[in-house]
Amino acid sequence: MNKSTVLFVFLISTFLLTAQTQQTEVESLKKVSDFPIGSSLRFIPFMNDAPLQKIQQHHFNSYTAGSDMKMYQISPRPNVYYWDRVDSIVSYTKKNNQRLFGHTLIWHSATPWWVEKKAKKDPVWLDKFMKEYIQKYVSRYKGKVHGWDVVNEGFNTKGAGYRTESIWYKTMGETYIEKAFRYAHEADPDAVLFYNDFNIERDTLKFNSMMKMVEDFQRRGVPISGIGFQMHIRMDTPNEVIAHTLKRAADTGLQIHLSEVDIIFNTHDDSKGGGVQLYNELTDAMRMDQAKKYAELVEIYQTTVPKAQQYGITFWGFNDRDTWINRFFKLKDWPCIYDENLKPKPAFYGFLNALKADY
């Protein structure tokens, strides 16, 4: 099936099937995909939302915790570890035959206040704590968590260079990233270990900084298994730039995870509350444009990343009701494949039909 035929089928089926979804169950994403399809979830509200659970179980075979597995949740105070919620997530994913992906071990924004305070007083302590934390955590869930975002967002928000304001960088230098991978690998040699970041699909300076680190790790045998492209993209993000960065990343031979996908219409400056409201309502034309963009993203992933390296596509929330975009950036946007009423949008069908296409 050539590209024009794929697009034609996708457009026609979008119009027809959107009307049908009010009465019938839609086709399952995971059943038509050659790679895992996931979504992030906040466990407590999710477990009290039966309609959301039904949709999640129907479409997804990979589960990423939105915040439940981050450091401030696991170790909010010195010498305290809370495992109960992660244990419950493990139980849920096992019961529903879903892959559990661990997000994230080390992230500057998820570092508890007490860790930063102690690291400033005793820099040597931070390395010891990181090793203890990672190895206690990863070994506890060895064989239960399939892969981990070992380090998240270690490079600048924009442009080249490491995120030097991070307590991890200020205390340990850039070696903290390498050490985190080594500690995680020691705890679970079979886990798939990712470096994960945002804007690397379109900010080539940032991407090049990350790739320099990745390629250095590969040369020196640092146990990195994959690259996570968060892929929080806008409608105007050029497809050719996405294809270029994915191709170069895939040339490393590592697993490639589109780890936090959503597609917005408005814009922002990557800071909390930094949204710029360009569109106040979602029109039919915008819905169709978004559906096309989701289809194109799937096509780029499938034609650029070799099958053996396709770790999967994960949505950072899959419905407009719960999207983080509006809360964080103080926007009104519609970035997901399901709408505020938990109904599939044209974006869903764009994504679904692209999964089914023969490229």
Residue pLDDT, tens place only, 324-340: 999 999 999 999 999 99
Structural element, H or E, at residue 200: none
* Amino acid of residue 344: P
Here the tokens at position 239 are 């497809």
Whether the predicted pLDDT of 258 surpasses 80: yes
Percent of the chain with pLDDT over 90: 92
**What was the pLDDT predicted at 347?**
98
pLDDT, tens digit (0-9, with 9 covering 90-100), for 152-178:
999 999 999 999 999 999 999 999 999
Average pLDDT over residues 141-146: 98
- 3-356 maps to which CATH number? 3.20.20.80
Looking at the chain, the whole-number percentage of residues with pLDDT higher than 70 is 93
Nearest to 260 by CA among 295, 291, 297: 297
Predicted pLDDT of residue 85: 98
Average pLDDT for the chain: 94
Residue 317 · residue 262 · CB < 8 Å: yes
> Quick one: pLDDT band at residue 147, thresholds 50, 70, 90?
very high
Amino acid letter at 133?
Answer: Y
The whole-number average pLDDT for the span 339-354 is 98
Q: Residue 225: its pLDDT value, please?
A: 98
Query: Which among 201, 260, 296, 299 is annotated as catalytic?
Result: 260
Structure tokens at 262: 């959503």
Residue 223 has pLDDT above 50, yes or no: yes
**Contacts for 271 with CB less than 8 Å, ≥ 6 apart:** 157
Contact between residue 136 and residue 186 where contact means Cβ atoms under 8 Å apart: no
7, pLDDT greater than 80: no
Asked if residue 13 has pLDDT above 70, the reply is no
Neighbours of 206 (CB within 10 A): 22
pLDDT at 21 over 70: no
Query: How many CB atoms are located within 10 Å of the residue 35 CB?
Result: 21
Q: State the pLDDT at residue 25.
A: 84
User: Is 260 annotated as catalytic?
Assistant: yes
Element (H, E) at 58: helix 50-59
Distance CA 1, CA 10 (A): 12
Distances (CA, A) of 137 to 72, 148, 162, 187, 347: 13, 11, 26, 9, 37
153 is catalytic: yes
Could you tell me which residues come within 8 angstroms of residue 3 by beta carbon, excluding any fewer than 6 positions away? 299
Cβ 257 vs Cβ 229: under 8 Å: yes
Q: Which of 25, 27, 132, 153 is catalytic?
A: 153
- Whole-number Å distance between alpha carbons of 88 and 82: 12
**Mean pLDDT, rounded, for 53-65:** 98
Confidence band (pLDDT; 50, 70, 90) for 23?
very low
